[in-house]
Amino acid sequence: MFLSLTYSFTFFFTLILTSSSPSHIATFTPPATKISITSHNIQSLNKADKGTKIAGISQFKRYLHRFGYLQNNNNSFNDEFDVVLESALVRYQGNLGLQVTGKLDSDTVAQMITPRCGDPDTNTRHQNHDQNHVHKVHSSKNFVFFPGKPRWSRSMPMTLTYAFSRENMIHSLSMKDIREAFRKAFLRWASVIPVSFVEVSDSEVSDLKIGFYKGEHGDGEPFDGVLGVLAHSFSPEIGRLHLDAAETWAVDFEATVSEVAVDLESVATHEIGHLLGLSHSSVKDAVMYPSLRPQDKRANLNIDDIKGVQSLYGSNPNFRSEWSLESDMSANKGSNFLKPFRLASSLIIIISLMHSLCTL
Ligand SMILES: [Zn+2]
Ligand SMILES: [Zn+2]
């Protein structure tokens, strides 16, 4: 965690220093999706409690507002740590699988600095918060849908077509590599639900439309440059998947040597989950968890992702159901409930065998 904070501080210092010439200082407003913080004020943020005022608190409010945790009609935020911020933090921490403290503790700040998907977190369920008993939200199944549970409404089994927007591509990766990353990402979802995906050439007529965009690009959700927000996508049946063209997209971290390299296949798999109707999960190993560190890969579907998407579309008949059995068993690993049962069963078998032998 310390390392990640150090990395983030270094990166954002660099970002601020390189983007602030004297003539720009007065007008520079960082995007709401990026938290800039100094090692100097991390301690005071840690201790911030209701009623305290600390320069920079407003950026956390803007961030929480941007991702769906805090309402503000006039879009102005002050630097007071108030009860509204506390309850927004409680919901954020619950949704991100963090320890629920209602404070700007270092884990929470580190999470906010981690690059993420631009779609807001739509799980607005109330999280219980007892200030005297700091607790962690335990959940092995926490998939979430978009409000109204939209999904593609065609009859099963269905085929969805996808295409890349030719005018909105990047050139740092070959088209072959980009297509291959998306082919693998689509295949992961297709292997668990009765939906297949076919690439076509024209994004004007395809169901799903993929493109790389820079900054403001016409949908009211401008991209924010390197890291911060990596991509965003729309719920069914809109079908648009947008990636931030400013990122250093990678399909092989050995070939793309950069501390800000982002795995295209992982982000593609996550965003396709949105296209199908899944929102963000609080399960950290799930593909639908909202954040992804640079140089990290998380493209394999977790049982949480599988159960979520299957509850929208049903199961692919060829889906190997032992996966879910394995996952259920591994979810029960921490439970001691089955152990005495298994021990008792073994003893009964041994006693029965001994009894059989004695009576021979
Ligand atoms: Zn997302
Ligand atoms: Zn967009």
Catalytic residues: 271
The answer to whether position 322 is within a domain reads: no
Pair 279, 193 in one domain? yes
Q: CA triplet 278, 32, 219: central angle to 5 degrees?
A: 55
Question: Which CATH number goes with the domain that contains 286?
Answer: 3.40.390.10
Residues with CB under 5 Å of ion ligand 1 are 117, 119
The answer to whether position 281 is within a domain reads: yes
pLDDT by residue (tens digit) across 251-284?
A: 999 999 999 999 999 999 999 999 999 999 999 9
The answer to whether position 89 is within a domain reads: yes
Asked whether residue 304 is marked as a ligand-binding residue, the answer is no
Cross-strand partners of 18: none
pLDDT by residue (tens digit) across 130-186?
A: 333 333 333 446 899 999 999 999 999 999 999 999 999 999 999 999 999 999 999
Total tally of structural domains belonging to the chain: 2
Pair 170, 300 in one domain? yes
Range(s) of the domain holding residue 195: 158-313
pLDDT by residue (tens digit) across 70-85?
A: 987 777 899 999 999 9
Judged against a pLDDT cut of 90, whether residue 305 lies above it is answered with: yes
Asked whether residue 207 is marked as a ligand-binding residue, the answer is yes
Ligand number with the minimum distance to the CA of 146 = 1
Ligand number with the minimum distance to the CA of 214 = 2
Pair 183, 294 in one domain? yes
Q: How far is the CA of 221 from the centre of ligand 2 (A)?
A: 6
Ligand number with the minimum distance to the CA of 242 = 2
Asked whether residue 219 is marked as a ligand-binding residue, the answer is yes
Q: How far is the CA of 87 from the centre of ligand 2 (A)?
A: 29
Pair 106, 251 in one domain? no
User: Using CB atoms within 10 A of its CB, is residue 104 exposed (0-12), middle (13-18) or buried (19+)?
Assistant: buried
Pair 304, 169 in one domain? yes
Pair 85, 176 in one domain? no
Pair 61, 186 in one domain? no
Pair 171, 283 in one domain? yes
Return the pLDDT at 27.
Answer: 53
Pair 181, 309 in one domain? yes
Q: How far is the CA of 289 from the centre of ligand 1 (A)?
A: 7
| pTM beyond 0.85 | no
Asked whether residue 133 is marked as a ligand-binding residue, the answer is no
Q: How far is the CA of 112 from the centre of ligand 2 (A)?
A: 21
Half-sphere exposure of 327 (CA within 13 A, CB side): 16
What amino acid is encoded at 262 in this protein?
V
* Domain final position from 313, 335, 354: 313
